[in-house]
Amino acid sequence: MITRRRLAAGAGALLAVLTAGLARPSTALADETTARQPKVNLVLDVSGSMRARDIDGQSRMAAAKQAFNEVLDATPEDVQLGIRTLGADYPGDDRKRGCRDTAQLYPVGPLDRTEAKAAVATLVPTGWTPIGPALLKAADDLDGGTGSKRIVLISDGEDTCAPLDPCEVAREIAAKGIGLTIDTLGLVPNTRMRQQLSCIAEATGGTYTSVEHTDELTDRVNQLVDRAADPVVTPVATEGGDACAEAPTLESGLYTDRAEFGQQRWYRVDVRPGQELRASVSVSADRAVRPDYGVLLRAVTVHGREIVRGEAAGNGRTDVISTGLRYPKPETDDEDAPAEAVCLQVTSSFSAAPGVETAPGLPLELTLDVVDGPSDADDVAAFGLGRGWWLLGALVLAGFLAGLLWGWVSRWRIAVWRTN
């Protein structure tokens, strides 16, 4: 006999099963969303040299703390962010201990801004500069998940823990194929430090930026954190040729390169009939340059005939200058027509300020997109009034009729005025 108690127990069990069934997909969906979230690990040099007071009248450490506080306030909600330090704890002379001095100050995960700021506030310039060991640990901090992964390294000096070369460490990280990008920022850099940080960034398709002011540090770190949040393609390092015949053939994508002052860089792209090539280039001044500069992007045939160009000029108000171009390849009736090799020439007119090293070259970022053009080539021509003269004729006729009508109205008004 089914009692009320048994009936209630059965209903409760059924409700529990249904609730669990509904909760499980919801939990799985939340876990999948978390796994896709981008991760950023900010790696900060807290070595003794960060005491130097040469950034806007304050110490490098104070400038870094101020920048970090502003970055933490602006970090997108969907970014999992962490902070790792190097040289923050051991002040002694024992090399072995000094080269192990790296710690996770704030774990990579959902950001608690108050907690993260409190952790940054406790930092005091202390010890060595173990960049290589810190990068290895920072890569481990980002393990797991399918979203983009980025390390942003801020340092004011070279690694002091050779023979563990941080550039080799970056190459080792890149070779793992985990899609991790390392961007580097040098505070008041010298030549050797700039070369080391540039090498680290280039090994993983990242960028290097020289920083001498607090607002520059804040802006650049914000840009890199935002880039991690955007669904962008990780830049691929490439090396342009000195002439069209020596240029690498590239496909649609985002590429990084280095261009010496006054140097031309060449790249090739195959464009089939009916496709359109869209290209843009940005060149960054990561050191002091003279205020007047420009960048030129030309698309030419393999025989040197110019197809189209884009150019831009700057006057020193920004450290990045960009330009772009579009080239629609006309359709053809020949189904077996080969692709056309289009050569892209990038030339910039930056010049170094007195006493500034010219090597390595300036960072260059090239974006290429080859897409299907309009299905009817005439559509492109029509946009520029090239389909035929009917539209122009219609405009002329409309203007002529409007003139006649206005003249007739004016004469009628004058006649009425005289009559009155």
**What's the confidence (pLDDT) of residue 10?**
52
* Amino acid in the structure at residue 340: E
Q: Would you say 317 and 272 are in contact if contact means Cβ atoms under 8 Å apart? A: no
pLDDT per residue of the chain (420 residues) written in tens, 0 to 9:
444 455 455 545 545 544 555 555 555 545 556 677 899 999 999 999 999 999 999 999 999 999 999 999 999 988 999 999 999 999 999 999 999 999 999 999 999 999 999 999 999 999 999 999 999 999 999 988 878 899 999 999 889 887 888 988 998 888 776 778 899 999 987 888 888 998 898 888 788 888 889 988 998 898 888 888 775 556 788 999 999 999 999 999 889 898 888 889 999 999 999 889 989 998 887 777 888 888 999 999 999 999 999 988 877 666 677 888 889 988 887 777 889 999 999 998 888 878 777 777 888 889 898 887 654 434 433 334 444 455 666 777 777 777 777 777 767 766 666 666
Q: How many CA atoms lie within 13 A of 240 on its CB side?
A: 27
Whole-number Å distance between alpha carbons of 75 and 83: 13
pTM: 0.55
Helix (H) or strand (E) holding 300: strand 293-300
SS (H, E, C) 207-228: CEEEECCHHHHHHHHHHHHHHH
What DSSP string runs through 97-117? Answer: HHTT-EEEEEEEES--HHHHH
Domains and CATH numbers, the chain: 36-229 (3.40.50.410), 236-376 (2.60.120.380)
**What's the confidence (pLDDT) of residue 40?**
95
**What's the confidence (pLDDT) of residue 231?**
57
Distances (CA, A) of 392 to 9, 376, 380, 398, 405: 83, 21, 16, 10, 20
